[in-house]
A and B are shown apart, each in its own frame.
Chain A
Amino acid sequence: MNQQTEQYSTFSADGLMFGVAVESVQEVVRHQEMTPVPLAHYTVHGLINLRGQIITAVDLRACLGLEKRPTESQPMNVVLRVEQELTSLLVDEIGDVLNLDPGCFEEPPATLPEALKKSVVKVCKLERCLMLVIDPERLMN
């Protein structure tokens, strides 16, 4: 039985757990000094300097219509490669990289809020919670 496991990078925001295919993740970096971009879309939190490259940081909570992050908390950066560009996703906390059996994935439940339905392609039942798998392209557009 050839079970190819798929690797997912996981992180959380507003109590929800998310995962993206590990191939789209370039790196994970702690909170960086951010330069806000006036007049930009509300999901764009700002620009960061990643070893000389200027990367746009997008707030996951804002993209999914979740509640705003409490002001004291410092988000982490998940740097994703989307459409040949690097974009950083701001999340609350970083989780582990999980090796998952493709068979464990299911369709997203119908009860999922609209804002999430757009970006969540499938879900996976983990031991303690449900992991929502996100498609970065759909999330950012």
Chain B
Amino acid sequence: MDDMDEIVKEFLVESSENLDTLDQQLVSLEKDPGNKEIINTIFRIVHTIKGTCGFLGFSKLESVTHKGESLLDSLRAERLRMSGDIATALLKVADAIRTFLITIEESGNEGQHDFTDLVQTLVALNAAEVTTTQQTIPSTPVLEDVTNYELLAELTAELEAEKASAQASITQPSATKLVSNTENKTPSNEAAKATTATAIADTSLRVDVVILDKLMNLVSELVLARNQIIQYTRRQSDPELLNSSQRLNLITSELQEGVMRTRMQPIENVWNKFPRVVRDVARSCGKEVRIEMEGKETDLDKTLIEAIKDPLTHIIRNSVDHGIEKPEERVKNGKPREGVLKLKAYHEGGYVIIEIADDGAGLNTDRIRKKALEKGVITLDQAERMSEQEVHMLIFAAGFSTAEQVTNISGRGVGMDVVRSNIQKIGGVVDVSSVSGKGTLLRIKIPLTLAIVPALIISCHGQRFAIPQVSLVELVRIPHENTEQMLEAVDAALFYRLRGNLLPLVQLDKQLKLSSSSDLAGQTIVVIRSEDGLFGLVVESIHDTEEIVVKPLSKRLKDVKVFSGATIMGDGKVALILDVGAFAQYATNHHESVANLQHDQVKSMHGSESSLNMLLMSCGQGQLATPLSDVHRLENLKASELEFAGGCAMIQYRGSIMPLYNIATLLGRNSDVSQASKAESIAEHSVVVYSHNGRSVGLMVDQIIDIVDQKLNIDLTAQRQGVRGTAVLAGKVTEVIDLAQLAELTDHLSCAGANGAQI
């Protein structure tokens, strides 16, 4: 009986592959009802399954497929025309076959399934006849008209006998034989296709996934051993040893790549189910949706493919159910009746990016905000403060669903957060962006493999740890002196001012209870992107990035949430891998404080309590000031050095061309310079040089007065583009200018227009 088991196993594997193709083809046929090729493909698949299950004694399955086959035959012979009902019935046949296969796999027999209803439907559909006139069918390698049906029936019987004793892959050439028996034409297309099909079948083989897993493990061990050897040989000078270890290095890398590729499968394997899903969901919601796929040859590791199947299915169902509007509404809004769901996949730097975009109604920010408030997911404070993007990300929060009705498709509030956690489990991230009325885009980023990841090695208190690179944004060194200026404390939480934004800090040594000092001088901040935003992990020092083999921690250590695994370093020592998400939790508490702080800052623009160095300049009658930290250099440029191009003043400055602007003109007022220059050129110009978008820009002022260090209290009443407000500096009312904003003004100026011929 073992032989039979083997055959049954083969039957199950091949049939399930065929069923996926069947779904796809049925959906395509519904869109293109007259397509003979598709009908034939479908017919062959159903026919194959029928034949084999007859041989294996699965009579119930056989009878269902037989009725399905008869229906298909009517389509093929054009006795019937394809319709939505027929498509649904045939898809149900595919489902029935799947149900049978599952039972066969579990128990070895067909089980007690009853598909009499389906069978009746199929028979009824088949009995209805199309009464329109018969048209002459163009000669393609199929039956010409009904009269050949009896001949076909005879040949089919012959063929069945043959097929029953052969494997499925051999039916392709048999199909060719069948057709050439009915007509004496040689359908060269069919033959060519059949032979290429068998040729492809010959160049690939089935391998048990367990064996590939073993190979993958061995290769991981090899990578570790290689790392160790490389470490030792670096200190050796024997040229032969160095040569050999270099070769070992290369070969191991190639082997690693090769083995990883054996486990890679194209994402098509997951996507091929989606046309059917989209069709079914659309039909049941009364919507019209088509699916477009780009990049289906993009491959990922088999385990990852399994893991994203469910999340992707859920996202797609959601998009069709809630995202895409009903056809009438779409037309009203000037959109085409049919909604489009675009799937895109591509590789990028060691990751696979999957994008799912729909052109539906987009996310309803207000409704999400309201629901989140109702469900207590956010507080009123947070609700007011959140940006649109942050509100959109709330759809991933646990227990959240804005669906008006909970359908059996989606809307139970357990969907998106499960999607996100499933994606995170495989080391990936997901985010959403949406434009109201236009559509929604979901972007998933997953690493190519779980086993070997690039990581940054850091040390803390003498111990080494690894941080996976996927969430790493940048590294910032805290200088040894003047740390108080960079760091701010709010409610005992530390923050770092990173380019104007407050970054909550988490001290690694404190979290690991290795030290309790708050002296951060000389340490490094590893900026990490988490679900709630950026935060900084303060570590003692950083080493380099390495590809590490991730090994799971024992069950006993699963409670220690801060570690997601361990790895063996090149020197043989064990290093723990940090779980970034766990540290993000500590930082979340700080985000509240940040939000408060930044909000207040925006409102009052108080800058800081501490004093700032301000550069004072004169311009016309008034005094201007700008923070000295914004200024790159102060120059005195001779008038003779100024050059003009296209009506703009320029100067050759440090090897590049720097444009010059008159600050008075930018601020829209007269200045001494412009009036004086009418009479004669000024010998020298005071120029404030600053950096904008990587270039140097020069602002000409009348005079540079002084640099003062004092507290800044800005009155915002006189705010406008380029001017932050007024303050009293050095005893005079001064306009505080914003160089960055002025720079943006210069971008929009056309030199001749704004400055005229004057400078």
The residue on A at minimum CB distance from B512 is A38
A39 within 8 A of B: yes
Which A74-119 residues have C-beta < 8 A from chain B?
83, 85, 87
Contacts of A56 in B (CB 8 A): 553-554, 556-557
Report how far A39 CA is from B558 CA in the complex, Å: 11
A65 at the interface (CB under 8 A from B): no
Let me know if B514 and A83 touch, CB within 8 A. no
User: Could you tell me the distance between the alpha carbons of A41 and B554 in the complex, rounded to whole angstroms?
Assistant: 13
| Interface of chain A: mostly helix, strand, loop or mixed | strand
CB distance from B507 to the nearest CB of A (A): 13
CB closest residue in chain A, given B222: A52
**Given contact pairs A83-B555, A85-B554, A39 touches B574 in the complex (Cβ within 8 A):** no
Q: Which of chain B's residues has its CB closest to A87's CB?
A: B554
Q: Is the Cβ of B573 less than 8 Å from the Cβ of A33?
A: yes
Do the beta carbons of B576 and A37 come within 8 Å of each other? Answer: yes
Q: Mark B486-519, 1 if CB is under 8 A from A, else 0.
A: 0000000000000000000000000011100000
Shortest beta-carbon distance, A117 to chain B, in Å?
21
- Within B207-227, which residues are at the interface with A (CB < 8 Å)? 221, 224-225
Q: Which residues of B contact A53 (CB under 8 A)?
A: 551
Contact of A35 among B224, B555, B559, B573 (CB under 8 A): B573
Inter-chain contacts of B595 with A (CB < 8 A): none
Query: Are A35 and B551 in touch, CB under 8 angstroms?
Result: no
Separation of A56 and B557 alpha carbons in the complex (Å): 8
Is residue B377 within 8 Å, beta carbon to beta carbon, of the partner chain?
no
Stretch in contact with the other chain, from B70-78, B392-400, B561-569: B561-569
Minimum distance in angstroms from B558 CB to a CB of chain A: 11
Contact digits for A121-140, partner B, Cβ 8 Å, 1 yes 0 no? 00000000000000000001
Decide if B575 is an interface residue (CB 8 Å cutoff).
Answer: yes
Tell me whether B560 is interfacial, beta carbon within 8 Å. yes
Chain B hits for A85, CB < 8 A? 554-555
Smallest distance from the beta carbon of A24 to chain B beta carbons, Å? 16
Known: A49-B574, A56-B557, A85-B554. A39 touches B513 (CB 8 A): yes
Please determine whether A40 and B572 come into contact, CB atoms closer than 8 angstroms. no
A83–B554 Cα distance when bound, in Å, is 11
CB distance from A26 to the nearest CB of B (A): 14
Contact across chains for B568 and A54 when beta carbons are under 8 A apart = yes
Q: How many residues of A contact B (CB 8 A)?
A: 23
Question: A46–B554 Cα gap in the complex (Å)?
Answer: 11
Is the CB of A47 closer than 8 A to any CB of chain B? yes
Return the CB mask of B137-179 against A: 1 if under 8 Å, else 0.
Answer: 0000000000000000000000000000000000000000000
Q: Is the CB of B513 within 8 A of A38?
A: yes
How close is B482's CB to chain A, nearest CB, in angstroms?
Answer: 31
| Known A35-B575, A39-B562: A52·B556 in contact at CB below 8 Å | no
CB distance from A133 to the nearest CB of B (A): 22
B573 and A37 contacting across the interface, CB-CB below 8 Å: no
CA–CA, A83 and B568, complex, Å: 23
- Interface status of A120 (Cβ within 8 A of chain B): no
Nearest B residue (CB) for A35: B574
Q: How many whole Å from B451's CB to the nearest CB in chain A?
A: 14
Q: Are B560 and A39 in contact (CB under 8 A)?
A: yes
Q: Which residues of A contact B556 (CB under 8 A)?
A: 41, 44, 56, 58, 87, 140
Note all chain A residues with C-beta closer than 8 A to B513. 38-39
Q: List the B side residues contacting A54 at CB < 8 Å.
A: 551, 553, 566-568, 574
Return A10 CB to nearest CB of chain B, in Å.
24
B540 CB → nearest A CB, Å:
14
A48 contact set on B, CB distance < 8 A: 574
A36 to B460 Cα, complex, angstroms: 13
How far is the CB of A29 from the nearest CB of chain B, in Å? 14
CA distance A39 to B513 in the complex (A): 7
User: How distant is A110 from chain B, measured CB to nearest CB, in Å?
Assistant: 30
Known: A39-B562, A44-B556, A54-B566. 19 other contacts (CB 8 A): A33-B573, A35-B463, A35-B573, A35-B575, A36-B463, A37-B576, A38-B463, A38-B514, A39-B513, A40-B560, A44-B557, A47-B574, A49-B574, A52-B224, A52-B568, A54-B568, A56-B554, A58-B556, A87-B554
5 closest pairs, A vs B, by CB? Answer: A38-B512, A35-B574, A47-B574, A56-B554, A54-B566
A and B contact pairs by CB, cutoff 8 A, 19 listed: A33-B573, A35-B574, A36-B463, A38-B562, A40-B560, A41-B556, A44-B556, A44-B557, A49-B572, A49-B574, A52-B224, A52-B225, A52-B568, A53-B551, A54-B568, A54-B574, A56-B553, A56-B554, A85-B555
